[in-house]
Amino acid sequence: MLGRAFMPAVVNANNYITSPYYQPYLSPNLKLITHLSGSDQVAWTDAVAQTQANHPNTLIGTYHSSRDAQYANSFTTYPHRAVPREGLTSSQILMTEPSLPEAYVVDYRQTAARKYLVKNIVNDVAATGSKLAYLDNVSHDETGFAIPWSTTMSVMTDVASQLHTLGKRVIVNAAWVPGVTSDTSVTQLIASGVDGVSLEMGFSSSVRNDITRINKAMTQYRRMLDSGLTVVFVGLGSATGQPDTIENNES
């Protein structure tokens, strides 16, 4: 297989990762941190420097929503997770995020809104200096999202191509389940040009208890790996009956 499946990874870490309590949980083989955030830019910079000093071969990314906008006064961490809401009209907003009322989903079916979203994601990632963009909220219409997966993948193509020119890699957190999602969806993901995919539902009981779906999932994983994608498995504690603690929720 040409790609890599990452288990020694930390997903969405905060600057607590540098605390004496948390350090023992870090694997000496840690290769990837999808995102390291801080209460402000100073705290984030210190956390990145300390983590990089202890793990010089670890790739540390910048988290960014692939679809969200927020007003400037609603940002509570650094790097900022969304594009500025101030630059969008109400007609360019699809809806508010169900679990995050201060965040607004950009209707990137509209050309102007799409260009604004892509431009600001790229600028936000570039400003951090991180070598990896971890894009969340990459949602699929087969799970109820209003925008077709093909449109979402075309936006990811725009983001990835621009970040690649800046020397950045792109991993997307895809909201679908291998073994259940269609082969066409996997083909479109591979064709988008992103460098990897993070899967929070890779261990879903709806797949692991069904041999047909297990076989389909394995075929889809192999296709992604053979295409050169990095595949990150996010082991949610609740998927295996464990509490959703920090330790249980990491890959």
Share of residues in the chain with pLDDT > 70 (%):
90
For residue 100, what pLDDT band results from cuts at 50, 70 and 90?
Answer: very high
**Which CATH number fits the domain that encloses residue 183?**
3.20.20.80
Is residue 76 a part of any domain in this protein? yes
**Model pLDDT for residues 41-95, shown as the tens digit of each residue:** 999 999 999 999 989 999 999 999 999 999 999 999 999 999 999 999 999 999 9
Residue 239 has pLDDT above 60, yes or no: no
Q: What is the per-residue pLDDT for 70? A: 98
Residue 30's pLDDT is what? 87
pLDDT (0 to 100) of residue 38: 92
In a domain, 245, yes or no: no
How many alpha carbons fall within 13 Å on the CB side of residue 159? 35
Tell me what pLDDT residue 12 has.
79
Residue 207: is it exposed, middle or buried by C-beta count within 10 angstroms (0-12/13-18/19+)?
A: buried
12-50 pLDDT per residue, tens: 788 888 888 887 778 888 888 988 899 999 999 999 999
Q: What is the pTM of this model?
A: 0.89
Tally of structural domains, the chain: 1
> Is residue 251 included in any domain, yes or no?
no
190 confidence band (pLDDT: 50, 70, 90)? very high
Asked if residue 249 is part of any domain, the answer here is: no
Whether residue 246 is contained in a domain is answered as no
Reported confidence tier of residue 248, pLDDT bands at 50, 70, 90? low
Residue 215 lies inside a defined structural domain of this protein = yes
Q: Domain range spanning residue 161?
A: 4-240
Let me know if residue 250 belongs to a domain.
no
